Amino acid sequence: MLSPVILVPAVLNGLLTGAVYGLVALGLTLIYGVLHIINFAHGALLTAAMFAAFFAQRLLGLDPYIAALVLTPLFFALGYCLQRFVIGPAAHGEDRNILLVTLGLAVVIENVLLYAFGADTRTLNLDYAFNVVDLGIAFLAVPRVIAFGVVLVIAVVLWLILSLTDTGKAIRAVAKEKLGAELSGIDVGHIYAVTFGLGTACLAIAACLLIPTYYVNPHIGNAFVLIAFTIVVLGGMGSVTGALFGGLFIGVVESLCGLYLGESLGQIGIFAMFILVLLLRPSCLFGERA
Amino acid sequence: MSHWSAQVTRRNLLQITAVGAAAAATGLISAPALLRAQGSPVKLGVLHPVSGALSYSGQQGRLGATIAVEEINAAGGIKALGGAKIEAVLGDAQSTPEGGNAEVEKMNSAGVAAIVGGYASSICLTTSQTAARYDLPYVVDVGVADNIVTRGLKNTFRFGPGFGVIAKTALDNLVTINEQAGQPAKTVMIVHEDTLFGSGLAKLLNAQLPERGFQVLETIPHPTPTRDFNNVVLKIRAQNPDLVIPANYYNEYVLLARTMQQQRVRPKGIYSVLGGAASSYKFVKEFPEAAQYIMDCNHWFDPRNPKALALKKKTEDRGEFYTYEVFMNYSCILLVVDALERAGSAERAKIISALESSTFSGHVMPYGPTKFVSGQNQGAAPVNTQVLGNDIQVIFPQTFASAKPVFPMPRA
């Protein structure tokens, strides 16, 4: 059972899946790092993005990878408006309220999707979904290899935005010291909304990367967001690199657990890991602070 | 002369009027009588998982049932009830036992005479039990788990075979196929879905395969839905069994077969027992390469029966695939209608006793004489098929086989 013939492909598959987990976690950790809120609507927004990618292909014939170019700015705008006009005003500056507002949003989005599309599990059948890259030791599915590459690029782009642009510097300033940032003339409301928009845009990309090999139903986001929470805790709240490496790590854990414990129990490993990290290293693997 | 003729005319006129009045009167009396005899239509519950993970199978099942209802109504309804029409009360079990239960409650309050359907074993198990509380006749359309009919529920009938019979037939035929090929297959891996249907069947196979000289290397369960079979296929590659036996529903079956093709894992044979897609025209048409040479022991229509072929044409004319859900449900509706005819009543108790004594033969399945013993039709039997070229051929029983089994799979 430990022969490299299955171990190597399982680890590689885990890394490829983990990259997308990492992207979902990236959005979550960004919003947490700056706004200091847990965005409960993250899963529901991912579901919405997956439905959008699904219907873009079904109704408009847009390939998911092309749809990403349209959906990313669209979801950035959606996230921006949600924070600026719904979450921000409804919260009245209290973190507790923000929590409840995002939870409420999640309930609303999920049920609207349920009402509109029913509980059906839908899948796309794309010609290239079962194409493989032959590495000699393993066959890797083409859509997953593409997803892996795109996630790495997105992570680098995000890192560049945060470290080089004025907006990125403002985001980091607000994350570190909100009052100070406000005093030096940064529009905190705007930066909050931009951050939320970036987090939501990550989801749109993740959705487009997932849809060629995954299915969509109105509750699908929950499965991902639980994993994303684990990754965020594992990688350090608010840490971009932490989210990425945490995602890859969790992907491998899931893949190996699936291999050795069976598909039905595969996710046990993720949550066992979650509890272990909380018990043994609450400051997380990459985080500087708890 | 003119006076005479006028008299005659008056007499004729009177006669005509009398006849006319009588005719009108008869018409007036008979019209309401006819209406009363036809009375209210008989409601039949048609329950399937038309949304959720099993939605494709559910919709196919509903299609078969609907075609049967349309045909009965077009042919003049239920004659013993004065031509009463059948009104199908459609229900969606949402692919969960709880969803199915809620629908049974609704159908019961709607006053259905009987329920047909359920599809998945786990759904049938709970819905038939709920129906039993209202003494509501319940005909299981597919649900193969054997404990559906061994709980002593008076209301529950299964027209098709249970997995005990299917596993036995499948293994008998497997031994024959293997012997004919010079016994190339010795080791087996079982891949099954983890609810009542797959787990129960896997347990049965695990007990019976060693008795027939096969070694079970590993049994791999997976949930429904599963969207990634890479790990399962890796395990198959590592163990390298001669045979892979999948027992799962349509989507997962297709994905497993395609992942095996993708990862270039080719055992000597894929021999399914109730494989969700292994004998589905949809699978063969959409993924002919992945489906090639797959053998299956499953529900199948009687290819010698013109009615079965007429139904095939009708289904295909509607742009749908002729899958087992269609002809199983079609037959089950006809079975209930036959019981209604013989009961001469839509009363639940009378329908149950009519089903108990049923010898119904107007179905489209290759079954022996219909005879229910504690709810299970003793005549029910599965058929072995193999995907050859772009078609599905019957390889067992030999009485109506259309091809010889190709085993082991030729290397591409």
From CA A210, how far away is CA B376, in angstroms rounded? 45
List the beta bridge partners of residue B270.
Answer: B244
**Confidence band (pLDDT; 50, 70, 90) for B31?**
very low
User: Is B407 within the bounds of a domain?
Assistant: no
Per the structure block, which two tokens stand in for B234? 């890796």
User: Residues B356, B375: one domain?
Assistant: yes
B223–chain A Cβ distance below 8 A for any pair = yes
- Residues B334, B355: contact at Cβ < 8 Å? no
CB–CB of B234 and A17 under 8 A?
no
The answer on B88 and B230 residing in a single domain is no
More confident residue, B303 or A262: B303
From A213, A243, A230, select the one nearest A269 (Cα to Cα): A230
Residue A233 to residue A285: CA distance in whole angstroms: 9
Domain count, chain B: 3
Q: How confident is the model at residue A225 (pLDDT cuts 50, 70, 90)?
A: confident
Residues of A in contact with B238 (CB under 8 A): 1, 3, 5-6
Average confidence (pLDDT) over A138-160: 92
Long-range residue pairs from A142-148, CB within 8 A, at least 24 positions apart, any chain: A143/A209, A143/A212, A143/A213, A144/A13, A144/A16, A144/A17, A144/A213, A145/A16, A146/A65, A146/A209, A147/A16, A147/A19, A147/A20, A147/A209, A147/A210, A148/A15, A148/A16, A148/A19
* A 109-128: CB under 8 A from B: 118-121, 123, 125
Q: How confident is the model at residue B286 (pLDDT cuts 50, 70, 90)?
A: confident
Q: Is residue B80 part of a domain?
A: yes
Looking at the structure, do residues B389 and B376 belong to the same domain, yes or no?
A: no
Check if A255 contacts B (Cβ < 8 Å).
yes
Task: Decide: helix, strand or coil at residue B213.
Answer: coil
Q: Is the pLDDT of residue B159 over 60?
A: yes
pTM for the model: 0.80
Tokens of residue A198, six digits:
């970036």
pLDDT exceeds 50 at position B5: no
The two three-digit tokens of residue A197, written as one number: 């928009």
Question: Average pLDDT, stretch B339-366?
Answer: 95
Same domain, B194 and B338: no
What is the mean pLDDT of the segment spanning B240-261?
A: 92
3-state secondary structure chain A: CCCHHHHHHHHHHHHHHHHHHHHHHHHHHHHHHHHCCCCCCHHHHHHHHHHHHHHHHHHHCCCHHHHHHHHHHHHHHHHHHHHHHHHHHHHCCCHHHHHHHHHHHHHHHHHHHHHHHCCCCEECCCHHHHCEEECCCCEEEHHHHHHHHHHHHHHHHHHHHHHHCHHHHHHHHHHHCHHHHHHCCCCHHHHHHHHHHHHHHHHHHHHHHHCCCCEECCCHHHHHHHHHHHHHHHHCCCCHHHHHHHHHHHHHHHHHHHHHHCHHHCCHHHHHHHHHHHHHCCCCCCCCCC
State the DSSP code for B96. Answer: S
Q: Are residues B24 and B53 in the same domain?
A: no
pLDDT at B9: 54
| Domain coverage including residue B255 | 164-298+384-400
Contacts of B222 in chain A (CB under 8 A): 262-264
Do the Cβ atoms of B222 and A6 come within 8 Å? no
Do B171 and B154 have their domain in common? no
For chain A, percent of residues with pLDDT exceeding 70:
96
A41, A106 contact by CB (below 8 A):
yes
Residue of B nearest to A1 (CA): B238
pLDDT at B25: 45
- Which chain B residues have a beta carbon less than 8 Å from that of A251? none
Cα A24 to chain centroid distance, Å, stands at: 1
What average pLDDT does range A134-161 have in this prediction?
91
Better-scored residue on pLDDT, B243 or B225: B243
Round to whole Å and give the CA distance between A212 and B143.
Answer: 32
pLDDT tens string B107-140: 999 999 999 999 999 999 999 999 999 999 999 9
Q: Among positive and negative, which fits the CA dihedral B58, B64, B70, B76? A: negative
Q: What is the per-residue pLDDT for B23?
A: 46
CB atoms within 10 A of CB B390: 11
In a domain, B350, yes or no: yes
The reply to whether B181 and B327 lie within a common domain is no
Cis-peptide into B408, omega within 30 deg: yes
Residue B234 has pLDDT above 60, yes or no: yes
Residue B6 — pLDDT band, cuts 50, 70, 90? very low
Q: Do A141 and B262 touch (CB under 8 A)?
A: yes
Report the mean per-residue pLDDT for chain A.
88
Residue A210 has which token pair? 């997932």
Domain boundaries, chain A: 4-280
Ranking A188-202, A215-229, B41-55, B96-110 by mean pLDDT, the lowest is A215-229
Closest alpha carbon to A14 in A273, A279, A287, A201: A273
**Same-domain status, B256 and B314:** no
Is B240 within 8 Å of chain A by CB?
A: no
Task: Compute the CA torsion angle A53, A264, A250, A14 (nearest 10 deg).
Answer: -70
User: Quick one: CA dihedral B193, B198, B202, B203, positive or negative?
Assistant: positive
Work out the average pLDDT over B371-396.
Answer: 95
For position B335, what pLDDT does the model report? 96
CB B242 within 8 A of CB B187: yes
Question: Is B52 in Cβ contact with A120 (below 8 Å)?
Answer: yes
Q: Are residues B250 and B372 in the same domain?
A: no
Question: pLDDT digit string (tens) for A47-104?
Answer: 999 999 999 999 999 999 999 999 999 999 999 999 999 988 887 877 788 888 999 9
Which residues are within 8 A (CB) of B109 and not within 5 positions of it... i.e. 6 or more apart? none
Q: What does chain B come to in residues?
A: 412
Amino acid at B340: L
Q: In terms of domains, do B284 and B184 share one? A: yes
Q: Give the single-character DSSP code of B215.
A: E
In-domain check, residue B412: no
Q: Half-sphere exposure of B204 toward its Cβ, with a 13 Å CA cutoff?
A: 25
First to last CA, chain B: 104
Q: A259-273, B114-128, B184-198, B259-273 — which is least confidently predicted?
A: A259-273
Candidates A260, A264, A267: best to mutate against B (most CBs of B within 10 A) is: A264
CB atoms within 10 A of CB B116: 30
Contact by Cβ (8 Å): B39, B81 = yes
Residue B403 corresponds to which amino acid? Answer: A
Closest CA to A252 of A274, A230, A272, A270: A270
**Buried/exposed code over A135-163 (b: 16+ C-beta within 10 A; e: otherwise):** eeebbbbbbbbbbbebbeebbeebeeebe
Look up the CATH architecture of domain A4-280. Answer: Orthogonal Bundle (1.10)
CB contact under 8 A, A10 and B223: no
Chain A residues with CB-CB distance to B232 below 8 A: 263
Q: In which band, very low, low, confident or very high, does the pLDDT at A234 lie, cut at 50, 70 and 90?
A: confident
In a domain, B176, yes or no: yes
Q: In what order do the strands lie in the sheet with B86-92?
A: B86-92, B42-48, B114-117, B138-140, B156-158, B376-377, B372-373
Higher pLDDT, B137 or A126: B137
Structure-block tokens of residue B53:
């993970």
Same domain flag for B345 and B278:
no
Check residue B18 and give its pLDDT: 52
The residues near B314 (Cβ < 8 Å, ≥ 6 apart) are: B67
Distance from CA of B122 to the nearest CA of A (A): 17
Q: Find the mean pLDDT for residues A201-209.
A: 96
Q: Kindly state whether residues B260 and B390 are assigned to the same domain.
A: yes
Nearest Cα of chain B lies from the Cα of A255 at a distance, in angstroms, of 7
Whether the pLDDT of residue B17 is over 80: the answer is no
| Model confidence band, residue A287 (pLDDT cutoffs 50, 70, 90) | low
Whether B411 is in a domain gets the answer no
Q: Where are the alpha helices (DSSP H) in B134-195?
A: 163-180
Q: Is B263 on the interface with A (CB under 8 A)?
A: yes
Q: Which chain B residues in 95-124 lie under 8 Å from chain A, judged by CB atoms?
A: 95
d(CA B344, CA B366): 28
pLDDT score recorded for residue A286: 60
Q: Which residues of chain B are within 8 Å of residue A14 when distances are taken between CB atoms?
A: none
Pick from A121, A141, A258: CB nearest B53: A121
Contact status, residue B247 vs residue B215, Cβ threshold 8 Å: no
Q: Which two tokens stand for residue A239?
A: 């840490």
Note the pLDDT tens digit of each residue in B166-182: 999 999 999 999 999 99
- Per-residue pLDDT band at B2 (split at 50, 70, 90): very low
Q: Secondary structure of B111-149 in the HEC alphabet?
A: CCCEEEECCCHHHHHHHHHHHHHCCCCEEECCCCCHHHC
Q: Considering the domain boundaries, does residue B323 fall inside one?
A: yes
pLDDT for res A47: 95
Residue found by looking up tokens 């509109």 in the block: A116
pLDDT digits (tens, 9 = 90+) for A243-277: 999 999 999 998 888 888 877 777 788 888 888 88
The shortest CB-CB distance from B231 to any of A118, A213, A258 is to A258
Average pLDDT over residues B72-101: 94
Q: Residue B392 belongs to a domain with what CATH number?
A: 3.40.50.2300
- What pLDDT is stored for residue A2 in this prediction? 67
Cα–Cα distance, A277 to A286 (Å, whole number): 12
pLDDT tier at B42 (50, 70, 90 boundaries)?
very high
Task: Report the distance separating Cα B398 and Cα A240, nearest Å.
Answer: 65
Q: Which of B51, B98, B230 to mutate to test the interface with A (most CBs of A within 10 A)?
A: B230
B261 touches chain A (CB under 8 A): yes
pLDDT at residue A151 in the model: 95
Residue A170 — pLDDT band, cuts 50, 70, 90? very high
Are the beta carbons of A35 and A225 closer than 8 angstroms? no
